Amino acid sequence: MNKKTNAGLKTICLNRKASFNYFFEDLLEAGIVLKGSEIKSIRDGKVNIADAYAVEKKGEIVLINSHISPYKQASYSNHNPTDERKLLLNKKEINKLIGKMQRDGFTIVPTKMYFKKGKAKIELAVAKGKKQYDKRATKKNRDWNREKSRYIRKSS
């Protein structure tokens, strides 16, 4: 699960379900406020952001429903696995995201979590939900491309 892509970037986890369920309009990077036992658990790769999303609370963007497993060696100072985690963004970015959520009906979905120069970062997507027929079309295109590549491989 831990694979290196670029120099200095180490992917921790991906949210592959998000690209199937949403149309992405914009991607941005944010830092996360974490406790010591949380970062140790993240370094072990025990993170799940598949059902996570971000909302606005008191002028801040907060990540909800992300699951970071408890760290076994942290005895009394362990964390709650499904706590709300504050995202570190500029005030201008926060205002832009709040405006898109309230006016245009967009949602903020995490797409991947990674380490960048030793710091845990999360990639957020400003997204619009897909309808059922959009999901069927995506699945149909994916299957057709798979069949097409098989046919080309067999014929050559």
Residue 21 belongs to some domain of the structure: yes
Per the structure, the count of domains in the chain is 1
Measured from the Cβ of residue 66, the count of other Cβ atoms closer than 10 Å reads: 24
Q: Mean of the pLDDT values across residues 127-131?
A: 87
Q: Which domain holds residue 84?
A: 3-130
Rounded Cα–Cα distance for residues 65 and 74 (Å): 22
Across 78-87, 121-130, 132-141, least confident range: 78-87
Which domain CATH number covers 117?
2.40.280.10
Residue 146 belongs to some domain of the structure: no
Q: Mean of the pLDDT values across residues 55-77?
A: 87
Tell me the two tokens of residue 132: 């059922």
Residue 139 belongs to some domain of the structure: no
Please tell me the number of Cα atoms within 13 Å of 10 on its side-chain side: 12
The end-to-end CA distance of the chain, in Å, is 34
Report if pTM > 0.75: yes
Whether the Cβ atoms of residue 25 and residue 107 lie closer than 8 Å to each other: no
Residue 90 belongs to some domain of the structure: yes
Whether the Cβ atoms of residue 25 and residue 127 lie closer than 8 Å to each other: yes
Q: What is the pLDDT of residues 43-63, one digit of tens each?
A: 888 899 999 999 999 989 999
Burial class from Cβ neighbours inside 10 Å (0-12, 13-18, 19+) for residue 12 reads buried
Residue 152 belongs to some domain of the structure: no
Residue 151 belongs to some domain of the structure: no
Continuous segment of H or E residues that includes residue 4: strand 3-4
One-letter amino acid of 101: M
